[in-house]
Structures are given as C-alpha cells and as structure tokens.
Amino acid sequence: MSATSNARRARRKELILRELGLMPLWRARAGGVRRLAQAPQMPHEIPAIQPEPGVRHMHDDNPAEDRRSEMILRMDWDQLRTSVEGCVACPLCRSRTRTVLGAGDPNGDWLYVGEGPGAQEDATGEPFVGPAGQLLDNMLTAIGLKRGRNVYIANIVKCRPPGNREPTADEAACCAPYLVRQIKLMQPKLIIALGKVAAYNLLHGDGSLASLRGRLHKYAGIPVIVTYHPAYLLRNMPAKAKAWEDLCFARSTMQTILQSSK
Ligand code: URA
C-alpha cells in the first residue's frame, strides 16, 4: 500500500474517532498521562432477582395482562405517555423516579432502541442523557443525524432497573406493549438496536452480539440493524471501530430504503 493511501486511511480513522468523541486519545498531564477516552465505569452490581409476591409473570396465562396489552395497542402518543407515567405493571415502578417513554421525532425515519433508563434518565425523564447519551449523540452526528430531527430514541423498558442491571425477561415483557405501540405509531424506516438487550427483545433471538451485527434483521417488516450499546463502547475501545462499520451500514441501508421508496 502506498504512503499516500496509508496517510489517507490514518486520516480517515482519526476523523472517525473524532466524530465518535474519541479524540484526542491521550493527553500529557502534569504527573502522568491520563486516558481521556476512558469513561467512568458504569456501576455493575447485579442484584439477584428474587420472585416477588404478587408480581405477575407474563408467561403465565393472565387475561388481565392480555386486556392491558390490548388497551395499550390502541393508544395514541398522549395516552401512551400518560399510561407509562402511571404504570405499575412490574416491580420497576417501585424504585423509579421518573418514567422514560422516549424522545424525538415521532414521525422520523430512524428509531434507536436502547435497554432502559440509567440514573440520569431516571432523574430527568429523557432517554440517553448520561455519558452513553453523549456518545450516542456523537454517533448520530457521525452519520449526519441529530437527536430529535428525523430520529426517535426509545428503550426496551421505561423505568430504570435498580443499580443499572439488565431488565429481567418479565420486566421487558411487561413493558413490551409500549414499544410495540410506539413502533406501530411511528412506522420508522429503520430500527437500530443498541446492545444485546434491545436486539434480543426486538428480534426474539439470542446469540452473540457479534453474530447479530452486520446483517439486516426484520421487526414486523421493518429493517433492524444491531450494534453495540454506547455504554459498552465507552468501556471498550476496540469495539468502536466495529460500531463505525455498523453506522456506515445503517447509513447506506437508509439510502437504499429511501431510494427504493421514491
Ligand atoms: N442506556 C439505555 O439503554 N437507555 C438510556 O436511555 C440510557 C442509557
């Protein structure tokens, strides 16, 4: 490879890292060198999940749950917001401060789906406003998007799982009708699943995130692309290059979708 193309590749890599908010990677400081790209670790205590008395399990035969789902699946946006704000369908309601329905352009082409609110989202009622949210904003910018403009951001669960643990299958199942309705109302052209909790719940699959990346999936006929969760990217430098590939794949997929719908 020529020196010119090497230089071009290096320059492109630098631009990518800058777009993702990862430059400068290192900065000399008095008393040593600190890695700027390294974000604070997210708390990761995962409390043992105990079945609680009186908590419904979605897998049980539960006519009341069916009626609740049917009602949600007929709601408009205002009704959804009110319903989520008052939701007591799973134990997450007991520890939440605010519910986080989602935010952005409800008529947008792009839907980003994360896992569930963290501490800052729980405090503000807005999705992705903490450190992971800042990285998500940079990822959007990297492909010419902007939060709220042609983009809606939602989560699998609308209440914060304590200690930032993953939502349980029952919690995700209780919340599922809300996201199903959001998607139905929004009719996005492309869904980006951020991380494995979003991917598993949307696609009802499993497998490694690596095996889900790089190809088009479908949710109710809508193309879905799976990429890393921004919180994971904050802790894992090497995955950022792969996330960039996913963003480029998403951008070219959207171009194809828009062209074919002309
Ligand atoms: N992580 C998520 O998955 N969603 C948020 O809203 C914030 C952090």
pLDDT at 29 (0 to 100): 32
Q: 27 falls in which pLDDT band (50, 70, 90)?
A: very low
H or E element in which residue 215 lies: none
Q: Does a structural domain hold residue 239? A: yes
Q: Does a structural domain hold residue 155? A: yes
pLDDT at 18 (0 to 100): 61
pLDDT at 59 (0 to 100): 46
Would you say 194 and 232 are in contact if contact means Cβ atoms under 8 Å apart?
no
pLDDT in tens, 165-214: 999 999 999 999 999 999 999 999 999 999 999 999 999 888 899 999 99
Q: Is the pTM of this model over 0.75?
A: yes
Q: Which residue would you say has higher pLDDT here, 88 or 16?
A: 88
> Which atom of ligand 1 has the smallest separation from the CA of 230?
1
How many domains is the chain built from?
1
Q: Does a structural domain hold residue 93? A: yes
Mean local confidence (pLDDT), 17-27: 48
Greatest extent of the chain over all pairs of C-alpha atoms, in Å: 68
Q: Does a structural domain hold residue 30? A: no
Residue 111: what residue type?
L
Q: Does a structural domain hold residue 29? A: no
Domain of residue 243 covers 3-23+36-260
115 C-alpha vs ligand 1 centroid, how far in Å?
Answer: 6
Q: Does a structural domain hold residue 31? A: no
CA distances from 102 to 46, 224, 254 (A): 25, 18, 22
CATH code of the domain containing 88: 3.40.470.10
Q: Does a structural domain hold residue 189? A: yes
> Which atom of ligand 1 has the smallest separation from the CA of 127?
6
| CB distance 230 to ligand 1 below 6 Å | no
